[in-house]
Structure 1
Amino acid sequence: MNALETHDLGRRHGRRWALREASVTVPEGARAALVGPNGAGKSTLLNLVSGLLEPTTGRIEIFGGPLEPAAVAFVAQDKPLYRRWSVADLLRFGAATNPRWDGAAARSLLAGHGIGSRERVDRLSGGRRTLVALALAVGKRAGLVVLDEPLAELDPLTRMEVMSVVRDLPATVLLSSHILADLAEVCDHLILLGAGRVRLCGGFGDLLRDHPATGLEDLVLHYLRNPEEAR
């Protein structure tokens, strides 16, 4: 089964299309990298899949059915956590707003990275706030976790720590990032956007077999420079 399917998905702002005719699939259990230059439509796609935007055209299926908010956990780039709350406050909020809440799983992730329940969000580093946001996603028990630039502004060691958590998440993951080297270590599926359209979608192994690329970065750069070859 596919965790995510979009069919001719589009979003228009006035006369401008931010995303157009986007049809992608993400298999259940995959770690899917969403990549492309600025303005390619990545955030628009993530917001549509997360239910934060309504599509202008097309449709979205999550695990073979219509989009349900409970099935998707979204971690935005700016991690909009309540900064003056403690970690414990956030966990209580998660329990109050999610009927399938798994507090034990969320607390286990936090404890494994030395984040105490009494710590206040505005006193945490960017990396630790990212881990708190991931813990809330785990607690929601969503089948699909959507991450918008979770590695932005993190140092290399913290990026490794965050990506190790992403690798072990008990869910399908759709992850947007500009840091291709980190994505190549964890992800097994690629969605490449360019100018609001899907340029490439498929498993890393299949895509690399079909192209004489040396790795993910080479593959991405080739199809961005030669969009007429995309499929």
Structure 2
Amino acid sequence: MKALEAGELGKRYRKRWALREATFELPVGARCALVGPNGAGKTTLLNLVTGLLTPTTGRVRVFGRPLEVSRVAFVAQDKPLYRRWSVADLLRFGAATNPRWDQHIATSFLLTHDIPVQQRADRLSGGQRTLVALALAVGKRADLLVLDEPLAELDPLARIQVMDVVRELEITVLLSSHILADLAEVCDHLILLGAGQVRLCGGFTDLLASHSATTMEDLVLDYLRNPEPAR
């Protein structure tokens, strides 16, 4: 069984296709980097996978079943926390809106990373807000975690902390970011988008073994400069 499967997935806005004929799959437990230039369709793909958008074409399956929002946790790029709420308020909101909520897991996650639960969200650092968003996602007990640019606007130390957390999560992860070096240290799979289409997908080891590149950065740059059909 695959954790995530997309078949001929596409989204059109009037006459423009933001994503077209995207077909890929992720094995259970994968940590997949979703990369591509601005406008490649990354956010559209993530919104389709999380059920925030309805596809124009194709389908999404999560663990062998049609998409169920309760099985997917999503951390958006802007980390939309209620800024005047305390962390404890956010946890209560998570418990009220998620049928599979696990308060112990979410609270333990915050305590492990020294996040004060009585602190207001707008008084936390950028890294702390990202960790709170991850705590809410973990507490949801989803089977698939989707992260849209979680490293945006974080300082180097906060980026390291967040990626260390992602590395330790026992869950399938689909992670979008422009910071290729950070992704290469944590992720074991790659989906490369270009001009709204999947240009490359697969496990890092297999992709590098079939290509002259020795790093993920070189592999991505080569395929963006010399597009080929999805693999």
What band does the TM-score fall into relative to the shorter chain? over 0.9
Give a deviation string over 1:128-169, Cα, whole Å, max 9, x none. Answer: 000000000000000000000000011111100000111111
Rounded to whole Å, the distance in 2 between the matches of 1:100 and 1:116 is: 24
8 Å CA contact 2:201–2:230 kept in 1: the answer is no
Residue 67 of structure 1 corresponds to: 67
Rounded to whole Å, the distance in 2 between the matches of 1:221 and 1:44 is: 22
Residue 112 of structure 1 corresponds to: 112
8 Å CA contact 1:91–1:136 kept in 2: the answer is yes
List structure 1 runs of 4+ shifted beyond 4 angstroms: none
Residue 155 of structure 1 corresponds to: 155
Most deviating of 221-230 and 76-85? 221-230
8 Å CA contact 1:60–1:67 kept in 2: the answer is yes
Alignment of 1:107-146 (within 5 A): 107-146=107-146
8 Å CA contact 2:11–2:18 kept in 1: the answer is yes
Rounded to whole Å, the distance in 1 between the matches of 2:122 and 2:17 is: 37
Rounded to whole Å, the distance in 1 between the matches of 2:137 and 2:39 is: 26
8 Å CA contact 1:223–1:230 kept in 2: the answer is no
Distance 1:196 1:229, change over 3 A: closer
Q: In angstroms, what is the RMSD of aligned CA positions?
A: 0.8
Residue 6 of structure 2 corresponds to: 6
Rounded to whole Å, the distance in 1 between the matches of 2:103 and 2:78 is: 23
TM-score normalised over the length of structure 2: 0.99
SS in 2 for 1:60: strand
8 Å CA contact 2:84–2:121 kept in 1: the answer is yes
Counterpart of 1:153, as a letter, is E
How far the C-alpha of 1:229 sits from its partner, in A, is: 6.2
SS in 2 for 1:24: strand
SS in 2 for 1:227: coil
SS in 2 for 1:199: strand
Distance 1:213 1:6, change over 3 A: same
SS in 2 for 1:82: coil
TM-score normalised over the length of structure 1: 0.99
Residue 204 of structure 2 corresponds to: 204
Gaps of 5+ in 1: none
Rounded to whole Å, the distance in 2 between the matches of 1:137 and 1:74 is: 7
1:171 aligns with 2:204: no
How far the C-alpha of 1:116 sits from its partner, in A, is: 1.1
Rounded to whole Å, the distance in 1 between the matches of 2:216 and 2:160 is: 18
When the two structures are aligned, how many residues end up with a matched partner? 231
Rounded to whole Å, the distance in 2 between the matches of 1:213 and 1:153 is: 29
Residue 29 of structure 2 corresponds to: 29
Identity of aligned residues (%): 76
How far the C-alpha of 1:24 sits from its partner, in A, is: 1.0
Gaps of 5+ in 2: none
8 Å CA contact 1:223–1:229 kept in 2: the answer is no
